[in-house]
Chain A
Amino acid sequence: MMSAPSDQVGRPRPYRLAELALLILAIAVATSAYALVGLGTEGTIPANVYGYAGWLAALGLVVHIVIWWKAKYADPVLLPIAVLLNGLGLAMIYRIDYAQERTGTDAVAVSQLIWMTLGVGLAVGVIIFLKDHRWLRRYTFLSGLAALVFLLLPLLPGLGKTVNGARIWIGVGGFSFQPGEIAKILLAIFFAGYLVSYRDQLVLAGPKILGIRFPRLRDFGPIVIAWIASVCILVLERDLGTSLLFFGLFVAMLYVATSRKSWILLGLGFFSIGAVAATFLFSHVGQRVDGWLHALTPEEYNKTPGGSYQLVQGLFGMANGGLVGTGLGEGRPSMVPFADSDFIYASLGEELGMAGLFVILLCYLFIFQRGMKTASELRDGFGTLLATGLSFTIALQVFVVVGGVTRLIPLTGLTTPFLAAGGSSLVANWVIIALLLRISDNARRPVEEFHTGVLRITEDPEDAGSPKRQGAAGSPKQRAAAKSHGAAPHDLDDDAPTTNLGTTGGER
């Protein structure tokens, strides 16, 4: 009598219909934003509005159906929010395209739509092929290495390209990409896998100085090396926004793994030292800080390279927008340099006003909240850390960009997730959403359906591996291994899960 109702109450509901309804609403918003841009600029609704709506709906519904099929218990609000933000970004990029008379192959909106399709395709791939996020834990060190390689790629002569002073792009043919965006996800996987394995050593061992327990160097070494290396590369590539993002990710995950506030203090301390040093050492950082502190002085405003012209124009734009904005297509957001990428937040502020910006900020807040909720519901430490890391990247990125554009902090070159024109960032964010969907499916799934195919709940530990191993044993080596396990039962304890994982992974 007591356990029956609690089963009913506690059973998580999939909320798939709620997701569908919200998705349809998001597509309606994105389409009407596009139509309103046409009305505001040319006075007519664009002729291809139905095609555009159809394409967005197709992309959204494909992901929705794949979620229904493969990740039934995934979080219901992540996908509609991603589609809404992406749609608003597309409408604003199309509007800037119109103002700057970019048509045909020059149109950024078209390439952004192509990138969105690619991002959605990758997200679908992640949801279908990644059955369980814990599978990623096996590739902890590989993803750390891959992240470093991705970060190093732009430094290779011939492959790397320098755009606006930052060497963070690679160009293959006519096609450029920012590998740092992918490295961000890989680093989150690496930090999560590493911190979950070495948590105890980090927390319990090591000397205590000034009330803070410092880990032993050999436990902490690899992660510090990874961090210093990524930051060094980014300083060499002159992109301090991304370096700040990685450092923030590192500190946040360290805090979540060890639950010690001292890491945050230590991190902020390191960060302030680094920030002050960078201001004096690198001229471009110094320029940014000057442009931030003295933005409204004529000297800074009129300084041609690296003044505050862009920042102040963005502020004027947002002031022009006011509470409800000038209306889509009726402001002059293209006065600001990079109005469709770095300053898309200011452009949206001008045309949608504060009422629109609040929706955008709330959407980011929702993504962050869902990520954190998922992290707290999960039953494994790796997933908790990964979900925290991924949602924290989005939150920190939004803080850095919006803070920079609204002159709360100095301006740094990061992209606004989902909104800004830029393919690599869009693709990376879709992959992040797919990973969060997969992790949240795992977190909300009831235990009876916990069997996800990759990692099985074994009924009996004694014959945990053997029937599976026999079934998949193509090689005599494996059979011999099974025999030797029989002789030494303690061996089985440690090896069985890994072998089990290997065979199941191979079947897929």
Chain B
Amino acid sequence: MSEFTVTVFRFAFFILLWLFVLGVAGVLKRDIFGAKRGPRKSRRKSRKSGPAANPPPAPAPAPPTAPPSRAPDRAHPGSIRVTAGPLAGTSLILSGAPVTFGRAPDNTIVINDDFASSRHARIVAQNGAQVLEDLGSTNGTFVDGSRITSPVSLSIGTQITIGHTTLETQS
């Protein structure tokens, strides 16, 4: 085969090689974009829900009809994010399936913490609302700083504390 043909093949090989790299980069880009759309959306919404989460300091920008206790029917959290603790940064979409927290490895979110019980708490969907309930944990589950005694319906921006881990509900 002539020198020229071999050279053409050689450069065709480089094109294939770089096509592969670009293909991988394309898949990664789509994957990362898919992940990016979530936070951007939730940032917009959390700005909206910011006043709703702590109404006493700034009730003015929110429409008058949004006290947090009546909010859940229109502001269901869509996801939950770990904001502090060893798993900080992890987030999970609340899709209706029960989400469990605890030390046992079969929980959805495994909290490796001596202050967490094996089956500590769970979030279940009830009539469209996301309800957090404590599963008889030793050290308790805290919502916005106070220990819960009965199931609590979650709204956006709620802080849930289990042991050293803090989670926040997001849209």
Contacts and interface: CB of A to CB of B under 8 A. Distances in A.
Interface in B4-23: 6-7, 9-14, 16-21, 23
The CB with the most chain B CB atoms within 10 A, among A10, A80, A377, is that of A10
Contact of B110 (A13, A381, A493): A381
A137 B105 CA distance: 9
Nearest to B128: A3
Contact of A29 (B16, B37, B41): B16
Contacts of B171: 2-3, 6
A448 B106 contact: no
Contact of A2 (B7, B75, B105, B118): B75
B78 interface: yes
B143 interface: no
Contacts of B107: 457
A500 B118 CA distance: 13
A94 to B, nearest CB: 15
Contacts of B10: 36, 324, 327-328
Nearest to A258: B86
Contacts of A39: 1, 6, 9
B105 A497 contact: yes
Contacts of B34: 9, 12-13
A272 interface: no
Interface stretch (A14-22, A108-116, A160-168, A417-425): A14-22
Contact of B31 (A15, A29, A80): A15
Contact of A450 (B9, B74, B96, B108): B108
A485 interface: no
Interface in A288-335: 324, 327-328
Contacts of B112: 196-197, 199-200, 381-382
Interface in B102-155: 104-110, 112-114, 117-119, 135-136
B60 interface: no
B37 A455 contact: no
Interface residues of B, number: 63
A507 interface: no
Contacts of B135: 461
B153 to A, nearest CB: 14
Interface residues of A, number: 73
Contacts of A328: 10, 13
Contacts, number: 181
Contact of A366 (B18, B19, B24, B104): B24
A148 B66 CA distance: 62
A464 B6 contact: no
Nearest to B76: A3
B106 A458 contact: yes
A200 B75 contact: no
Contacts of A40: 6
A134 B7 contact: no
A106 interface: no
Contacts of A13: 34
The 9 closest A-B pairs by CB, nearest first: A497-B104, A455-B106, A380-B110, A6-B78, A448-B97, A461-B119, A3-B78, A10-B93, A134-B105
Given A7-B93, A496-B104, 16 more contacts: A7-B78, A10-B38, A12-B34, A13-B34, A25-B20, A29-B17, A40-B6, A77-B27, A327-B10, A355-B18, A380-B109, A381-B112, A384-B87, A450-B97, A455-B105, A501-B105
8 contacts: A9-B41, A13-B34, A25-B20, A29-B17, A359-B20, A448-B97, A457-B100, A493-B118
